[in-house]
Amino acid sequence: MRKLVHLIPKPVLFGLLGALGCVLGWAAGEPLLKTIKPPVAKAGEEAKGQPAAAPVLVFSNELQKRLKREEAKTGDVQISLMWDNYNDLDLHCVDPNGERIFYGHKNSASRGELDVDMNARPPYSAQPVENIYWPTNGAPEGTYKVFVNHYSLHALVNETPYTIAIKQGGKAQEFRGTIRHGVTNLVQTFEVKKAPPPDLAKLNQRQPPSLKTTFVIGLWTALLAVGMAALIVAGQNFLLRRALFSLKSAALVLGGGLLAGLISGGVSQHLFALGANSFAAQLTETEAERILPLIIKTGQVVGWSLLGALLGFGLAFSIPNLPKFRAGFAGLIGGALGATAFLFALAKSGEVSGRLLGAAILGLTIGLVVALVERLAREAALIVHWHENERTVINLGAQPVILGSSPEAHLYLPKHKGFPPITAIVTFREGRVQMENKLSNSTHTLANGNKLQIGELWIEIQTDAK
């Protein structure tokens, strides 16, 4: 196991651990999100506190199939006719201006159009359809009259059953009848009324998420943070032969992860929503509908970037001589990349699978960039050779690196092999590496490439070219 872990480059290892930690956090957090989903209304009922959904404008499957086949158009008003033989039936509609739309006058001044007309000439169809529509926001107010006319006999039967479907006013209706050659039937008369213009001031007064929603989103994000930080810290301690978690490190991971998640989740979910609402109140409805989704997505990127920055900064307390602000900046970049991937995953897949993929990418990018910063910030290092092909590299700096059997030691040396709590202390200041050896009560200045034996271990000093 240890040999396998030591074969993996540390940035890759931290990336994989971060991804796995976020996936574990995702699994723990998904049930939380169900508590803030709106209740599903039963048939004929409204969800408590939610307006009823607009009726779905759907014709019968057979009519839809025929309309799709003929590439029929739709809009505010759509009137469609179908029958099942070779006879030529014609669809007519008289608009509120008294203008009749039919095969001889396919376009009206009110923008109505007969765009599908069948069986007037060969080849005849046994499954014909006709269609009249007004484009979106194009149907005038007033009374519409719908007729069907049996124009020509092209089949052995005279009486022809038909179906006429009408969409308007947020609902669909179907009417059935039978017609003989030379007869015109008035099928339906209906009214179209324009809805009153929306009160944009009220419409744009969007309420920010409730405190419950903010807390749940923050807690969900915190679970990602805790899972990610826990596995990365455990991986770091595994490399240093320390216990995976001490009481102090567990408290740091749990408290820091919860705090980072709640802060970043609260910023993206609540504070950013307040700003978005304030901005949207200055826009028209059309502008708001176009711009608000972009603002909300930006808020998510900002929130996850903040999460990455806080986690990177916090991980510097568990990784010796990792520059805190550099680690925070690296975490910010990782969080931004993860958030972008998260939004892309949501757009390309389902909501749950999108969150899963996005969480994994978030953990991968943050773990990867934090380990890369540790490597790029290295001026000097202590290399511990455990066995052949097994070594651990620790950055040296102003923070003393402690070797010993104490739980607080950065590099754990087994107590049962006679190592005291503090066996050696190594620092790097002003370009010099110094080691205080407690076993021999001596202090040494070490140069690049120096190797020392402590018990059964060999340690090697590595500095930059200078």
pLDDT value at residue 274: 59
pLDDT, averaged in runs of 10, over the chain (466 residues):
75 90 89 65 37 46 90 92 95 95 94 94 93 91 95 91 88 90 94 66 50 78 88 86 81 84 72 59 58 70 82 83 86 83 72 79 85 84 81 86 86 84 88 85 86 79 66
pLDDT value at residue 114: 96
The C-alpha atoms of residue 57 and residue 80 are separated, in whole angstroms, by 13
pLDDT value at residue 54: 34
Helix count (H) and strand count (E) of the chain?
A: 10, 18
Q: Is 234 left (phi over 0), alpha (psi -120 to 50) or beta?
A: alpha
- Would you call 333 exposed, middle or buried from its count of C-beta atoms within 10 A (0-12, 13-18, 19+)? middle
pLDDT value at residue 380: 87
pLDDT value at residue 398: 82
Reduced to 3 states, what is the DSSP secondary structure of residue 455? coil
Contact assessment for residue 106 and residue 179, using Cβ atoms and an 8 Å cutoff: no
pTM to 2 decimals?
Answer: 0.59
Residue-range domains of the chain with CATH? 2-37+202-376 (no CATH), 61-169 (2.60.120), 380-463 (2.60.200.20)
Torsion of CA 81, 83, 89, 92, to 10 degrees: -10
For residue 59, the number of C-alpha atoms closer than 13 Å in the C-beta half-sphere is 25
| Residue 83: C-alpha distances to residues 68, 224, 465 (Å) | 16, 59, 88
Give the closest residue to 80 by CA, choosing from 119, 129, 113: 129
The C-alpha atoms of residue 440 and residue 324 are separated, in whole angstroms, by 34
